[in-house]
A and B are shown apart, each in its own frame.
Chain A
Amino acid sequence: MNTATVEQLMDIASKHFKVERATLTPDMDFFEKLGINSFQALGLLSEVEKNFHVEIPDYELQGVVTFAQLSDVIDSRK
């Protein structure tokens, strides 16, 4: 896990879902913690693509539930 990526990712998620940044941690289950469904998570993916200048297929979100896991996906696409 790249700390810089996961920190930036949580910044984006906090703005996107309008939640306190301090409540987010790399290993929390964002579906559970943020009460979102898979379609809402896809909305975050678009923000991620814009900010990190990568293209992530929806498929890559399969099995991803934490910011740490998502940051690994982002790094693998850089």
Chain B
Amino acid sequence: MDLSGYSSLGEMLFHALSKNTDSPALIEADRDRESAVYTYGDMRRVVSTLTHALESRVSPGGHVAILMSNQSKWLLCASAIFWRGGVLVPLDYKLTPAEQIDLLTHSEAKVLFIEFPVYFRILREKYSFPPDVRIIVTEAPSKEKIAHERFEDLLSKAEAPEVTVAKKSRDDVACIVYSSGTGGTPKGCMLTHGNYLSQAQVLGTMFPIKPEDRYFSVLPTNHAIDFMCGFLLPLQFGSAIVHQRTLRPEYLATTMKKYGISHMALVPLLLKAFERKIKSELDAQPEWKRALVNAMMKVNRVVTARRPCHAFSKRLFAPIHEAFGGKLKLLFAGGAFVDASMAEFFYSIGLPVVIGYGLTEAGTVLTVNDLRPFRSDTVGKAIEGTTVELRDLNDQRIGEVWVQGPTIMKGYFKEPQLTEDAIVHGWLKTGDLGTVESSGHVKLLGRSKNMIVTEGGKNIYPEDVEASFESLDSAAEVCVFSSSYLWRGTSLTKEKLLMVVHAKDATEQSQVIAEIKERNHRLADYKRIDAILFWNKDFPRTASMKIKRNVLAEELKMQDANSIVEV
């Protein structure tokens, strides 16, 4: 695969959709039913029509947002935006309506593609769309009277004339991807066409996909991993992407079987659900069978010690592989720390989990485990073209991870100061603490900065959460940390979102707890506070009254982790 000749994602996708005309590109399933299949030829026609429709709605370089759950229309709209030369703003459908509207406004999008349930929820909760955004609603029921354009009406127009792909350069911004919601400063990472093309080149070379492979898209496509593994790469290789509008385990299994899913990216939480399912079935077997499986796992580890051998492992563990459809070859774990023992378990049964490390600010991955050999205890080595360095090393050789390479974003949209703080002479300060082995493998130990990655793969910005808890009647000030950051002994995969509360009245702790519980109900689940630590002093603050988090954290580390109150 050679992407060096392309100067934009639009060009790459145009070329990809011009090949393999009759092969399936997008398959949509829902509860054992197949609701849509687009061949590459179909996809090209629909994208041409949408591009034509965009020509009168947005100028090249204009911003176009998408607010949809995983589905074919996400990729169709994104492709059209790139063909038009627009800048894609992928918004998270799991955010609250208030957050979605705030980010939409901040992004300066001129057009929004939005699916009806998300659209309906925004209006039901009495939010309004920015007046200068043209809203295009997908799949609105015909009985619903809507005040905006219907997506289906765009497609029902006569066949679009053959469109041309707008000229862009590798240095032009392709996407603005938000890594934070409202409350804190919205951080729109401006990623260029060059960022994505470089990443696709490296990952496509490391993990090539065959045309007959099938990728199952279950992570949200606004997430960097699915955007790369569930959009750009499969289309580049001529394979198909399967979408399903439910994550319920019973439907996942049948879809994997029906379509012969070979690749999947998932968060550790879903991986854990798979592990539980396999282990519960193994536990139900007689003792001699369990012993046999354990012995086979050891044999598999020996045979695959240097690299995975799918054919061998599949023969050895046929019933387990069949339960996942029989074709599953690779699992990409993203968004959160992967428990090493879980990754070991999957590798032992011949289902390798590719563990990597990435930030929204730097594309999909900066480091990745190449499986040669498999390592469960690191996030792999820096990918080709990317350099990882540790700065401010302590006496244990632990330092802050800084990275430089072709996938580093151009900057934060409308935030030059934040950009200047994050990127220093071309080096992105990740805020993560780690070590680098002599072999180049990177181990992450925690986060020196504030960002918290949940078990579900969600990045949480404490300022964001704190903003949701502003003006609590019972609290003078609050500050949010990850429990694992304060007390290293706590496993990163069992972290809690901890709120340090300086109560107005130290004797009224029950009132604080009640208020926080009440606020929790209004928030997205990943933003909810798990536990409280009561604090009876003023927080240390800078001259501009910002909390000195590091100073406070050092004091908190001296506290007993058992003194927290779960809410």
Contact with A along B228-270 (1 / 0, CB 8 A): 0000000000000000011111100000000000000000011
Contact with A along B36-76 (1 / 0, CB 8 A): 00000000000000000000000000000000010000000
| Contact A58 B94, beta carbon cutoff 8 Å | no
In Å, the complex CA distance between A63 and B118 comes to 12
User: Which residues of A are found within 8 Å of B273, using beta-carbon distances?
Assistant: 39
| Contact A46 B250, beta carbon cutoff 8 Å | yes
| Contact A58 B521, beta carbon cutoff 8 Å | no
User: B431 on the interface (CB 8 Å rule)?
Assistant: no
* Closest A residue, CB atoms, query B526: A38
* Closest B residue, CB atoms, query A69: B521
| Contact A43 B248, beta carbon cutoff 8 Å | yes
Identify which of residues 60-96 in chain B touch chain A, using a CB-to-CB cut-off of 8 Å.
Answer: 69, 93-94, 96
Q: State whether A42 and B269 are in contact (beta carbons under 8 Å apart), knowing that A60-B117, A62-B94 are contacts in the complex.
A: no
User: B555 on the interface (CB 8 Å rule)?
Assistant: no
In Å, the complex CA distance between A37 and B490 comes to 20
User: B449 on the interface (CB 8 Å rule)?
Assistant: no
Q: State whether A57 and B249 are in contact (beta carbons under 8 Å apart), knowing that A37-B269, A39-B273 are contacts in the complex.
A: no
- Per the CB 8 Å criterion, the residue count for chain B at the interface is 22
Q: Which one of A37, A46, A59 has the highest number of Cβ atoms from chain B below 10 Å of its Cβ?
A: A59
Selected contact of A42 from candidates B31, B118, B121, B247, CB within 8 Å: B247
Identify which of residues 50-70 in chain A touch chain B, using a CB-to-CB cut-off of 8 Å.
Answer: 55, 57-60, 62-63, 65
Q: State whether A58 and B31 are in contact (beta carbons under 8 Å apart), knowing that A39-B270, A65-B521 are contacts in the complex.
A: no
Contact with A along B454-493 (1 / 0, CB 8 A): 0010000000000000000000000000000000000000
In Å, the complex CA distance between A6 and B31 comes to 25
User: B2 on the interface (CB 8 Å rule)?
Assistant: no
| Contact B525 A39, beta carbon cutoff 8 Å | no
User: A45 on the interface (CB 8 Å rule)?
Assistant: yes
In Å, the complex CA distance between A55 and B35 comes to 15
User: A31 on the interface (CB 8 Å rule)?
Assistant: yes
User: Which residues of A are found within 8 Å of B247, using beta-carbon distances?
Assistant: 39, 42, 58
User: A29 on the interface (CB 8 Å rule)?
Assistant: yes
User: Nearest-CB distance from A25 to chain B (Å)?
Assistant: 15
Q: Which one of A29, A42, A57, A62 has the highest number of Cβ atoms from chain B below 10 Å of its Cβ?
A: A62
User: Nearest-CB distance from A47 to chain B (Å)?
Assistant: 11
In Å, the complex CA distance between A46 and B252 comes to 13
Q: State whether A59 and B93 are in contact (beta carbons under 8 Å apart), knowing that A37-B269, A38-B456, A39-B273 are contacts in the complex.
A: yes
* Closest B residue, CB atoms, query A66: B521
Selected contact of A63 from candidates B93, B96, B248, B250, CB within 8 Å: B96
User: Nearest-CB distance from B521 to chain A (Å)?
Assistant: 6
In Å, the complex CA distance between A38 and B525 comes to 9
In Å, the complex CA distance between A58 and B94 comes to 11
User: Nearest-CB distance from B118 to chain A (Å)?
Assistant: 8
Q: State whether A57 and B246 are in contact (beta carbons under 8 Å apart), knowing that A37-B269, A38-B456, A63-B96 are contacts in the complex.
A: yes
Selected contact of B249 from candidates A39, A55, A65, CB within 8 Å: A39
User: Which residues of B are found within 8 Å of A31, using beta-carbon distances?
Assistant: 525
In Å, the complex CA distance between A16 and B290 comes to 28
User: Which residues of A are found within 8 Å of B117, using beta-carbon distances?
Assistant: 57, 59-60
User: Which residues of B are found within 8 Å of A45, using beta-carbon distances?
Assistant: 248
* Closest A residue, CB atoms, query B566: A32
* Closest B residue, CB atoms, query A29: B521
| Contact A46 B69, beta carbon cutoff 8 Å | no
| Contact B248 A46, beta carbon cutoff 8 Å | yes
User: Which residues of B are found within 8 Å of A38, using beta-carbon distances?
Assistant: 456, 525
In Å, the complex CA distance between A23 and B124 comes to 32
User: Which residues of A are found within 8 Å of B269, using beta-carbon distances?
Assistant: 37, 39
| Contact A42 B248, beta carbon cutoff 8 Å | yes
Identify which of residues 11-35 in chain A touch chain B, using a CB-to-CB cut-off of 8 Å.
Answer: 29, 31
* Closest B residue, CB atoms, query A60: B117
Identify which of residues 196-249 in chain B touch chain A, using a CB-to-CB cut-off of 8 Å.
Answer: 245-249
User: Which residues of A are found within 8 Å of B96, using beta-carbon distances?
Assistant: 63
User: Nearest-CB distance from A68 to chain B (Å)?
Assistant: 12
Q: State whether A58 and B249 are in contact (beta carbons under 8 Å apart), knowing that A29-B521, A39-B270, A65-B521 are contacts in the complex.
A: no
User: Nearest-CB distance from B105 to chain A (Å)?
Assistant: 21
In Å, the complex CA distance between A45 and B121 comes to 19
User: Nearest-CB distance from A34 to chain B (Å)?
Assistant: 14
In Å, the complex CA distance between A62 and B94 comes to 7
User: Which residues of A are found within 8 Å of B31, using beta-carbon distances?
Assistant: 55
In Å, the complex CA distance between A31 and B456 comes to 15
User: Which residues of A are found within 8 Å of B521, using beta-carbon distances?
Assistant: 29, 65
User: Nearest-CB distance from B230 to chain A (Å)?
Assistant: 17
Identify which of residues 261-287 in chain B touch chain A, using a CB-to-CB cut-off of 8 Å.
Answer: 269-270, 273
* Closest B residue, CB atoms, query A37: B269
In Å, the complex CA distance between A31 and B31 comes to 24
In Å, the complex CA distance between A19 and B269 comes to 23
User: Nearest-CB distance from B269 to chain A (Å)?
Assistant: 6
In Å, the complex CA distance between A38 and B245 comes to 15
Q: State whether A42 and B270 are in contact (beta carbons under 8 Å apart), knowing that A29-B521, A31-B525, A62-B94 are contacts in the complex.
A: no
Since A38-B456, A39-B247, A46-B248 are in contact, a sample of 12 more A-B pairs with Cβ atoms closer than 8 Å, ordered by chain A residue number, is: A29-B521, A37-B269, A39-B269, A42-B249, A46-B250, A58-B69, A59-B69, A59-B245, A60-B117, A63-B96, A63-B524, A65-B521
Q: What 9 A-B pairs are tightest by C-beta distance, nearest first?
A: A42-B248, A58-B246, A59-B117, A39-B273, A46-B248, A58-B247, A65-B521, A59-B69, A42-B247
Task: Give me the interface of A with B, judged by CB distance under 8 Å.
Answer: 29, 31, 37-39, 42-43, 45-46, 55, 57-60, 62-63, 65
Instruction: List 14 contacting pairs A-B, 8 Å CB cutoff, sorted by A.
Output: A31-B525, A37-B269, A38-B456, A39-B249, A42-B248, A43-B249, A55-B31, A57-B246, A58-B247, A59-B117, A59-B118, A59-B245, A62-B524, A63-B524
